């Protein structure tokens, strides 16, 4: 048996990017910074060290989220890990591990902060770029 579940909280590192596949499915990509607490061996002080995680949301939920999320928004994400690999046009092999979100919760207050300022944004304000259907994990 294997379990593939991820739960994390953090802040968006950039405005989410809404795209769509050739078949019209919405795909929202965003980056989340999650802090790890480590002791600095030189100073003996505890420091926050950021980890940067790519998060993807599919379908109608992706379109709805664009109205409420922007850089700096604090969110909680629950989902699963997905590994992908590809080759660059220069022939270099690349890979990444990302979270495919099943559930997103807003942790920023609605009446202030980054989430409130993005409520006026509409999905049309994000550039739509087609994706290949083979980029969808199901």
Prediction pTM value: 0.74
Q: What is the pLDDT of residues 77-87, one digit of tens each?
A: 999 999 999 99
Q: Write down the H helix ranges in the chain.
A: 60-65, 113-117
Q: What ranges make up the beta strands (E) of the chain?
A: 6-12, 17-21, 26-39, 46-58, 74-87, 93-106, 130-131
In CATH, which of 2.40.50.140, 3.40.640.10, 3.50.50.60, 3.40.1080.20 is domain 6-37+46-122?
A: 2.40.50.140
Full pLDDT tens readout for the chain, 138 residues: 899 999 999 999 999 999 999 999 999 999 999 999 999 999 999 999 999 999 999 999 999 999 899 999 999 999 999 999 999 999 999 999 999 999 999 998 765 444 333 333 333 333 444 555 555 554
């Amino acid at each position: 048996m294997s379990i593939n579940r991820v739960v994390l909280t953090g802040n968006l590192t950039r405005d989410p990017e809404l795209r769509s596949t050739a078949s019209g499915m919405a795909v929202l990509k965003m980056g989340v910074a999650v802090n790890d607490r480590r002791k600095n061996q030189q100073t003996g002080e505890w420091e926050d060290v950021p980890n940067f995680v790519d998060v993807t949301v599919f379908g109608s939920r992706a379109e709805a989220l664009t109205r409420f999320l922007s850089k700096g928004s604090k969110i909680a994400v629950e989902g699963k890990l997905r590994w992908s690999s590809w080759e660059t046009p220069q022939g270099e092999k690349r890979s990444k591990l990302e979270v495919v979100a099943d559930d997103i919760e807003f942790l920023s207050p609605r009446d202030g902060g980054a989430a409130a300022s993005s409520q006026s944004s509409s999905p049309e304000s994000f550039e739509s770029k087609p994706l290949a259907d083979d980029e969808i994990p199901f």
